[in-house]
Chains A and B, each alone.
Chain A
Amino acid sequence: MVNTADISPVEKEIWKALEEVMDPEVPVLSVIDLGIVRAVHVEGRAVEVTITPTYSGCPAMDVISMQIRLLIRAKHYDPVTIKTVLSPAWTTEWMTDAGKDKLRSYGIAAPNPKQQVCDNEYFKREEAVQCPHCQSWHTKMISEFGSTACKALYRCENCLEPFDYFKCH
Chain B
Amino acid sequence: MNFEFLYTLHLADNALILGHRNSEWTGHGPILEQDIAISNIALDLIGQARNFYQYAATLYNGNKPELNGLIKAPAFQQVTGEIDEDDLAYLRDANEFYNCLLVEQSRGDWAKTILRQFLFSSYQQLLFSRLEGSADTTLSAIAEKSLKEITYHVRWSGEWVIRLGDGTEESRERMINAIDALWKYTGELFLSAPYEEEMARRGGGFAPESLKEEWLKKITATLEQATLPIPKEGWIQQGGKQGIHTEQLGFLLAEMQYLQRTYPNSEW
Contact = CB atoms under 8 A, between A and B. Distances in A.
Interface of A: 53, 55-59, 85-90, 117-123, 142-147, 149, 153, 169
Interface string B131-153: 00000010011101111110110
B144 A86 contact: yes
A143 B37 contact: yes
A89 B48 CA distance: 13
Interface residues of B, number: 35
A89 B148 contact: yes
A145 B36 contact: yes
A147 B39 CA distance: 10
B44 A55 contact: yes
B145 A143 contact: no
A157 B174 CA distance: 34
B158 interface: yes
Given A56-B142, A57-B44, 15 more contacts: A55-B149, A56-B51, A87-B145, A89-B145, A118-B148, A120-B151, A122-B158, A142-B33, A143-B34, A143-B37, A145-B33, A145-B37, A146-B40, A147-B36, A153-B33
In the A-B complex, the 8 residue pairs with the closest CB atoms = A57-B47, A56-B47, A87-B141, A145-B37, A143-B33, A57-B43, A86-B141, A145-B40
B251 to A, nearest CB: 24
A32 B149 CA distance: 23
B207 interface: no
Q: Pick the most buried of A59, A149, A153: most chain B CB atoms within 10 A of its CB.
A: A149
Contact of A86 (B142, B162, B222): B142
B46 interface: yes
B114 interface: no
Interface in B6-41: 33-34, 36-37, 39-41
B241 interface: no
A58 B146 CA distance: 12
A144 to B, nearest CB: 6
Contacts of B112: none
A146 B32 CA distance: 10
Nearest to A150: B40
A130 to B, nearest CB: 21
Q: Pick the most buried of A55, A147, A169: most chain B CB atoms within 10 A of its CB.
A: A55
Contacts of B154: 120
B164 interface: no
A117 B37 CA distance: 18
